[in-house]
Structure 1
Amino acid sequence: MDFLEPLTLPRIPTYRVMSDDGSLEDPNRAEPDVTNEQVLTWYKNMLTVNILDSIMFEAQRQGRLSFYMVSAGEEGITVGSAAALERDDIITCQYRETGVYQQRGFTLKDFMSQLFSNRHDPGKGRNMPVHYSGREKVGAHAVASTLGTQIPHATGVGYALKMHAKENPTDPPRVAACYFGEGAASEGDFHGALNVAATRDCPVIFMCRNNGFAISTPTTEQYRGDGIASRSIGYGIDSLRVDGTDIFAVYEATREARRRALEGGGRPILLEFMSYRVQHHSTSDDSFAYRTRSEVENWKTRYNPITRLRKWLEKKNLWDEIMEKNTRNEIRRAMLQELTAAEKEKKAPLKSIFTDVYAELTEEAESQRQELRRIMLKYPEEYDTDNYEGGIKGL
């Protein structure tokens, strides 16, 4: 009678390509199958995300926007994985995937329009900052605050893609890619989604960003098992644990996961990207209430994905201190210009409070719109409508 005892089983290994100093972990392996131009683009995109986080965090502190979430320490996960996906793959995100949007074509104007909820925001200002919407440009569904809901959505997307592929065999194959944190993996949505994806052989890549904390709860208090990858094995899903601070490992793992997900008609794959949330959970959080500054500094300096890739570039003579300074200054200058412009743009028309739920406004919604318009016209001094496109006429 042999019980399986978790503590006696070997831990799942972590896939790496680069060492801390930017050289190959295994000197006998081949160089990553990427061009210098690709890697330089990745690095600049990681810098852009990092600088955006810094500027917008300060902007929130200045009262210029209500909320912000940074992704410091996880830039390699989002940029590297997005680079390995194809343009037509469909993505569902959580709320720390700024790098996915950056890598797949979001512009600084797109970011700022959403953050400041102006008329250029596809969501028309009806969602919190950092909850980007980029279906047309990025192939990603709009971000939602509710934790874990995007995981079963991804399974549904994967199943739909599988059905589409059967009916349209000449179309390019596509996968669903789903991002979430290890905290979201404690939600029931995670377990239901993985089980359905496994039993229905859905071409989905589940990408867990294990950054060490679910807001203030460390992983040591979240679960007793061997991370998140061990859970997917129980559902019969191929899994790989990856060093999330190593962008080459992230890229190679995602590319291989995509190939496997499409193999034999489709199946799910789970990738657990190991990293560390260097910054606070959000602008509403003070992480030093539950962790030490020395712990954060150690990760920030030793396991920084940006620093790691920069060392690789410098070893290849593709980057230097002057290029670093000039690029950072250019990105920052362009970002501040877009920030200033976004703040001056008008908000979406007031009518958008009611639209886009149904094709046509219901009788009840139309009645509410008329009543709101009547009240705003009766007490104009109580409402600042000039900042909205069309003013009161836009309602």
Structure 2
Amino acid sequence: MSVAHEVNFDGLIGPSHNYGGLSDGNLASAANAGDIANPREAALQGLEKMRMLIAHGLVQGVLPPLPRPNFDLLVSAGFGGTDAQIIEAASKTAPGLLKAAYSASSMWTANAATVSPSADTRDGRLHLTTANLSTMLHRAQEHPDTTASLISIFSNDEKFAVHGALPMHPDFSDEGAANHVRLCSSHGEEGVELFVYGREAGESTIGFPSRQSKLASESVARGHGLKSNRCVFIRQSRAAIDAGAFHNDVVSVGALDTLFFHELAFEDRNGALDAIRRASSGLFDFKPVMVPLAEVPIEDAIRAYLFNSQLLKMPEEDRLVLVAPTETENTVSTRAYCERLVESNGPIGKVIYADVRQSMRNGGGPACLRLRVVMTDDEIDACHQGVLMDEETIDELQEVVRRTYRDRLAPADLADPLFANECREAREALLGVLDLEGLC
């Protein structure tokens, strides 16, 4: 068994963080559309969450914000001239497109890629497949720049394999690790990979979109060279999607041998659990923890983002720790359930509440903000060191944020051509701290 760590690569929230209301099926995004955002506070909150996890002895990484506004998108839509002319014209004739071009949604790195550690793959390399995010325009533009970032960070071909996004077609709709869970006895040992999908290829849906196709999940598993008997493909319940669970990580989260999920998470719950038990046979004793509908209504679970939490093994704790948003603490049913959870003798023994309210108001909790990458010590040494966080680097990033980010941003402010320059200068300063100037 190799010594391995679950490294959380959080998204560094970008300077264009705003409440554009662009995400169909995301209730928080829709409810707060048009409100005043605080990009500075958002980025500082995210960095403080990273600092907290470092203090608990965890390895923490970061992914930089993508270039915004995305002038390539606007030019492809027929706008031309200088940057200022493009922004002025788009703000007058296509304000929704301008909002998409400015979207800071890459901060939710749970959607950046799907990751399979070297312990699971046939070639013994760590594999990452960039998500195409093809369902939503503001996210479908991310994958070229996300792939470039991943290649810059995981550039050692002997250790890593970075795959580009799947075809940009509804049949291959892929939302990344937000619909993927890995279970294992310990991070360095072979595990079971769960792929949760909302629809079959070619299947149409009524209501909120089912963003992950089964074909996409199967394609990623094939590309990563996973063993078929260690993969489980699970259908998300239509009830969860229609209640606002646009990704599986809104109703389910797993770590090590434990899957923490809502009663309505899966279409065929008993079949899914039996399939996981079969796949994990001989590897570990699977521990399911189901939250009953009678104790936590699905509406409360989604509003409070109980499951969009980080489930972690912290060095000083005997049992798993749930890092939940403060909204979970402030919702009566989820707070009461967490209190009972800790008092039980189950695999989850502690709940820590993190303030990521700026992200939450746009529909992303602690789990959305991180991409889990299980890495051996050799793989950690082989990746780009500038993105591995310590207290000093967090201090430097926060200094840049305080100096370059606005503390209030309304959707109407995106029409200001000077704001595009601010975003570029802020990103360049952040990339300088991370030693990623090649991405400028």
TM-score norm. by structure 2 comes to 0.28
The structure whose Rg is larger is 1
Larger strand proportion of the pair: 2
TM-score of the pair, normalised by structure 1: 0.30
